[in-house]
């Protein structure tokens, strides 16, 4: 089954969470915007076609900034590059977004910021743990948008195997289905059993698994002989915990990277691909875009994957679980 990430079902796309986020990624407008435009241009010219964003990306007064920038960057592209893109945004199920039409205004606002370049709408997280009734209405409302021809594809994020089965069943009653499911997936992601079950379930249903945070906030891009100090407080705290714990894992990644003449980033992304997912790493520089796309040119051998799996099991510290992830 073909996917939208630039290759087979588990290709590679890219995410734009950092485009507007000052708290975690230190976004600085408008100085950063020129670099982000160059990053986007490089991503497209390197063959990346699946782009993920969200209406909540952008902190404080910059809320929606990611979509706004993305819309501007796409509009500036020649038609032959625009036509092959798959642009996916996520709509947040905030407590005040209620009822079957609870996401309708947010959808139209996102589409406006994206200048009409929107192929897939996604529910950003599950409310099944605290307001399952809200999720039912919102899912039905997103399905209405697909039936009305306002958007072509429907996806979800932070949904587990049990909730996914329910969603697929409900959508099937309307002859609709999910196109993708986003989940945290990386060599440092938590909850291995749930992740494996979800990937197997999606494979049987023909649903693409989008792996967000495949580089664990950048930890997996750090060579074993270096300990960088991120600019934001939240990332510094995470690095201080995960860098020491992941040292042997990153050494194993480094050995593969050296033998192949590639980066740790490419090793981390290809581990996700080898597990049946499409990684959507965040990119902020043209060099990162080119490096990410280069991971599509090779794959891990079974022996290489086994060596990473072994070190992954021995890594006691992992990324924090998303509190909105459903079962």
Q: Is the CATH code 3.30.450.20 the one for domain 14-218+263-299?
A: no
Answer yes or no: 212 catalytic: no
Share the mean pLDDT of the chain.
94
Handedness of CA 64, 157, 289, 254 (dihedral sign): positive
Q: 301 or 326: which carries more pLDDT confidence? A: 301
pLDDT in tens, 179-201: 999 999 999 999 788 899 999 99
Which DSSP state fits 256? H
- The SS3 call for residue 196 is helix
Rounded Cα distance between 294 and 77, Å, is: 22
What are the CA-CA distances from residue 152 to residues 5, 20, 51, 144, 178 (Å)?
A: 16, 26, 15, 11, 11
Beta strands in the chain (DSSP E): 14-15, 50-54, 86-91, 120-123, 153-157, 180-184, 208-212, 278-279
pLDDT > 90: percent of the chain: 89
Rounded Cα distance between 266 and 262, Å, is: 7
Rounded Cα distance between 278 and 172, Å, is: 24
Residue 227, pLDDT score:
84
pLDDT in tens, 248-280: 999 999 999 999 999 999 999 999 999 999 999
Query: pTM of the full predicted structure?
Result: 0.94
What is the token pair recorded at 180?
Answer: 């993708």
* pLDDT confidence band for 226 (50 / 70 / 90): confident
pLDDT in tens, 145-163: 999 999 999 999 999 999 9
Catalytic choice (57, 130, 212, 239): 57
pLDDT in tens, 58-92: 988 999 999 999 999 999 999 988 888 999 999 99
């Amino acid at each position: 089954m073909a996917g939208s990430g630039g290759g087979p079902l588990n290709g590679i796309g890219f995410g734009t969470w950092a485009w507007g986020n000052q708290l975690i990624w230190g976004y600085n407008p408008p100085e950063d915007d020129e670099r982000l435009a160059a990053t986007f241009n490089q991503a497209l010219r390197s063959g990346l076609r699946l782009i993920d964003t969200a209406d909540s990306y952008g902190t404080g007064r910059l809320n929606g900034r990611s979509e706004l920038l993305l819309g501007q960057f796409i509009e500036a592209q020649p038609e032959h590059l625009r036509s092959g893109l798959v642009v996916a945004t996520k709509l947040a199920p905030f407590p005040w977004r209620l009822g079957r039409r609870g996401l309708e205004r947010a959808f139209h606002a996102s589409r406006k910021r994206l200048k009409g370049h929107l192929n897939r709408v996604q529910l950003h997280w599950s409310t099944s743990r605290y307001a399952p009734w809200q999720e039912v209405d919102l899912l039905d409302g997103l399905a209405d948008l697909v039936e009305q021809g306002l958007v072509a594809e429907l996806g979800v994020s932070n949904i587990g195997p049990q909730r996914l089965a329910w969603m697929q069943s409900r959508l099937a009653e309307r002859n609709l289905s999910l196109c993708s499911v986003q989940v945290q997936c990386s060599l440092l992601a938590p909850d291995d059993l749930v992740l494996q079950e979800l990937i197997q379930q999606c494979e049987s249903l023909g649903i693409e698994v989008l792996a967000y945070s495949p580089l664990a906030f950048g930890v997996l891009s750090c060579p074993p002989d270096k300990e960088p100090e991120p600019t934001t407080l939240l990332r510094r705290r995470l690095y201080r915990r995960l860098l020491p714990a992941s040292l042997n894992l990153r050494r194993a990644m480094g050995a593969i990277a050296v033998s192949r003449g590639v980066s740790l980033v490419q090793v981390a992304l290809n581990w996700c691909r080898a597990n049946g997912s499409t990684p959507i790493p965040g990119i902020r520089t043209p060099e990162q875009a080119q490096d990410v796309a280069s991971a599509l040119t090779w794959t891990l051998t079974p022996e290489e994957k086994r060596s990473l799996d072994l070190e992954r099991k021995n890594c006691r510290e992992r990324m924090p679980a998303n509190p909105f992830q459903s079962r």
